[in-house]
Amino acid sequence: MIRQDYLMRLLDQLAQALARVLSLRENEARGQALDFLNRESERLIGIDGAMLEILSPDAIRKATASVEKGFVAARILEEISLISEEEGDHHRATAAAVKAFWLYAAAAQADASAADNTFRERIAGFGDACAERGLAEGDLLSLMAGYEMLGEFGRAEDALFALVEVARRPGDLLPVGRDFYARMAEHEDAELEKGGLPRNELQDGIDGFLARVQSRLSQIEIPDEAREAERAANSS
- pLDDT score, position 121: 87
- pLDDT score, position 226: 47
Residues 117 and 230 in one domain: no
- pLDDT score, position 191: 96
Distance CA 181, CA 156 (A): 11
pLDDT (tens digit, 9 = 90+) per residue, 213-223? 999 999 886 55
pLDDT higher than threshold 60 for residue 229: no
Residues 123 and 8 in one domain: yes
Residues 158 and 110 in one domain: no
Span 192-216, average pLDDT: 96
Residues 107 and 1 in one domain: yes
pLDDT higher than threshold 90 for residue 200: yes
Are the beta carbons of 50 and 66 closer than 8 angstroms? no
Residues 97 and 36 in one domain: yes
Span 29-49, average pLDDT: 93
Span 138-151, average pLDDT: 96
At 21, the pLDDT band (50, 70, 90 cuts) reads very high
pLDDT (tens digit, 9 = 90+) per residue, 43-81? 999 999 999 999 999 999 999 988 889 989 999 999 999
Distance CA 173, CA 175 (A): 6
| Domain final position from 113, 128, 143 | 128
222 vs 89, residue with greater confidence: 89
Residues 120 and 166 in one domain: no
pLDDT higher than threshold 80 for residue 7: no
What percentage of the chain has pLDDT greater than the value 70?
89
Q: Which long-range contacts (CB under 8 A, 24 or more apart) does 5-8 make?
A: 6/68, 7/68, 7/71
How many contiguous H segments (helices) and E segments (strands) does the chain have?
A: 12, 0
pLDDT (tens digit, 9 = 90+) per residue, 106-126? 988 887 655 567 888 889 999
Residues 2 and 90 in one domain: yes
Roughly how many angstroms between the first and final C-alpha of the chain, as a whole number? 74
Q: Where in the sequence is the domain holding 2, given as residue range(s)?
A: 1-128
Residues 159 and 118 in one domain: no
Q: How many domains does the chain have?
A: 2
Residues 161 and 213 in one domain: yes
| Domain final position from 128, 159, 183 | 128
Residues 114 and 161 in one domain: no
CB-based contacts of 90, cutoff 8 Å, min separation 6: 84, 133
pTM recorded for the entire structure = 0.86
Are the beta carbons of 21 and 44 closer than 8 angstroms? no
